[in-house]
């Protein structure tokens, strides 16, 4: 037995305005507490079907294969790469932040060859560089890019990049972890082939699930693979027996039942609000935050035309100790904002306005707390 006295864990009430997780809507917290039933219960399977339909609305797609992976967004990423990349495949990977780098790692681990298109951190992916790479590598089969780069707050033009991929006979794999429900994302209209996201950002759900969607082009690649998918758990051919089975579902894994209740509720909330209204709310709260920051003399690092409204990267003023400042915000105000990653560590704060956190009360509270500490 471990030494010491143990009691229940009761966290404080924080205001979460970092890069994720975001504040969880109380409706979702209530949904998580509902009675657990079996993952093969007919009522649960009916809820799964509703959940898939609601996810199609969020992604703006009619893709039949649209479902939540039972693990965080990183597993959604790995699911896309593990199913679509075979040994020897040449994949063009766009890197303009941390999460493009993770795409590269996935390609390498799947035995593929990663061709890197690099852009400065804090800038959108440059389509002209992508086209040059596609021209130089006519044997490439996939283009991979991040729509909304969480590490920098940069938004890339997914529609243009996907069109380039198809013009050069490539599929596209797209990271939408921070963009889903926060900015326009139109999977069918933009012809995005394999897309993954997360639940803890603009959906305001808890971490631990990764919505994915695959169109017919992507599924054709999965079905004509010459080699077995290297991951048993993330093999779509096996997973779909549970998520897409007619009548009796094939057992694949024990689904996280209560978290799926939470995601269902989050998607109901999104549907009630309306997707376009959610996009507009994130934009409106960003504008309020931006005006307040500029009034204090603080500067956003990403050019306005390439800026994510829900993930704001702020240049830390000269002479401010990053870690000490964020620690003081947490201690004095129960307010969490994010640090910079990689090369921007110690140089940027990342302020999230995602989902339930994207409201005027939070924005004004954040601005007043930052101003009070800066004045000290």
Give 289's strand partners: none
- What pTM was computed for the model? 0.96
Distance CA 196, CA 345 (A): 26
Q: Are 202 and 355 in contact (CB under 8 A)?
A: yes
Q: Are 209 and 75 in contact (CB under 8 A)?
A: no
Same domain, 180 and 67: yes
Exposure string of 45-82, with b = 16+ CB inside 10 Å and e = fewer, is bebbeebbebbbebbbbebebbbbbbbbbbbbbbbbbb
Distance CA 226, CA 352 (A): 42
In the chain, which stretches have pLDDT less than 50? none
Within-domain flag for 3: no
Q: Which of 16, 371, 336, 307 is nearest to 153 (CA)?
A: 307
Distance CA 14, CA 334 (A): 5
What does the pLDDT read at residue 251? 84
Same domain, 151 and 238: yes
**What is the distance, to the nearest Å, from the Cα of residue 23 to the centroid of all Cα atoms in its chain?**
15
What does the pLDDT read at residue 326? 97
**CATH label of the domain that carries residue 250:** 3.40.640.10
Within-domain flag for 172: yes
Which of 225, 242, 270 is the last residue before a domain boundary? 270
Distance CA 83, CA 110 (A): 9
Same domain, 220 and 336: no
Residue 274 has which token pair?
Answer: 């309306």
Same domain, 278 and 253: no
Cα dihedral: 148, 273, 286, 301 (round 10): 0
Within-domain flag for 9: no
pLDDT digits (tens, 9 = 90+) for 175-197: 999 999 999 999 999 999 999 99
pLDDT digits (tens, 9 = 90+) for 217-267: 999 999 999 999 999 999 999 998 888 866 567 888 989 999 999 999 999
- Strand pairing category for 335-336 and 15-16: parallel
Give 286's strand partners: none
Q: What's the number of domains the chain is made of?
A: 2
pLDDT digits (tens, 9 = 90+) for 327-355: 999 999 999 999 999 888 999 999 999 99
Within-domain flag for 10: no
Within-domain flag for 119: yes
How far the first Cα of the chain sits from its last, in Å, is 47
Within-domain flag for 4: no
Strands (DSSP E) along 202-334, which ranges? 210-214, 299-300, 311-315
Within-domain flag for 7: no
What does the pLDDT read at residue 376? 84
Which of 217, 238, 270 is the last residue before a domain boundary? 270
Give 92's strand partners: 115, 143
Same domain, 343 and 221: no
Within-domain flag for 357: yes
The residues near 94 (Cβ < 8 Å, ≥ 6 apart) are 100, 103, 117, 119, 125, 130, 143, 144, 145, 146, 156, 161
Distance CA 113, CA 102 (A): 14
Tell me which residue range forms the domain holding 309.
15-21+274-375
Same domain, 256 and 278: no
């Amino acid at each position: 037995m471990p030494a010491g006295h143990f009691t229940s864990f009761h966290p404080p009430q924080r205001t979460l305005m970092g890069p994720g997780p975001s504040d969880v809507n109380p409706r979702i917290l209530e949904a998580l507490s509902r009675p657990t039933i079996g993952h093969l219960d007919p009522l649960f399977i009916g809820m799964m079907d509703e959940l898939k339909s609601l996810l199609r609305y969020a992604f703006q797609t009619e893709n039949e294969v649209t479902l939540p992976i039972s693990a965080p967004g990183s597993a959604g990423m790995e699911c896309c790469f593990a199913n679509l990349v075979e040994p020897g495949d040449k994949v063009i990977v766009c890197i303009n932040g941390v999460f493009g780098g993770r795409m590269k790692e996935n390609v390498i681990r799947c035995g593929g060859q990663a061709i890197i298109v690099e852009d400065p951190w804090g800038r959108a992916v440059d389509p002209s560089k992508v086209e040059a790479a596609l021209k130089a590598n006519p044997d490439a089969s996939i283009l991979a890019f991040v729509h909304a780069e969480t590490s920098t707050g940069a938004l890339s033009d997914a529609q243009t990049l996907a069109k380039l991929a198809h013009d050069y006979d490539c599929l596209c794999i797209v990271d939408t972890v921070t963009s889903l429900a926060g900015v326009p994302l139109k999977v069918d209209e933009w012809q995005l082939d394999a897309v993954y996201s997360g639940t803890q950002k603009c959906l305001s759900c808890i971490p631990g699930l990764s919505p994915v969607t695959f169109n017919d082009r992507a599924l054709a690649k999965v079905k004509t693979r010459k080699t077995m998918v290297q991951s048993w758990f993330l093999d779509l051919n096996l997973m779909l027996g549970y998520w897409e089975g007619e009548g009796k579902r094939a057992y694949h894994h024990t689904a996280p039942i209560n978290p799926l209740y939470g995601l269902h509720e989050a998607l109901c909330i999104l549907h009630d609000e309306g997707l376009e209204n959610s996009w507009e709310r994130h934009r409106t709260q960003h504008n309020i935050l931006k005006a307040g920051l500029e009034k204090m003399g603080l500067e956003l690092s990403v050019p306005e035309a390439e800026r994510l409204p829900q993930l704001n990267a702020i240049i830390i003023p000269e002479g401010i100790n990053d870690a000490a400042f964020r620690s003081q915000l947490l201690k004095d105000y129960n307010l969490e904002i994010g640090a910079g990653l990689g090369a921007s560590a110690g140089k940027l704060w990342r302020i999230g306005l995602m989902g339930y956190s994207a409201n005027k009360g939070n924005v004004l509270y954040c601005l007043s707390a930052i101003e009070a500490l800066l004045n000290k």
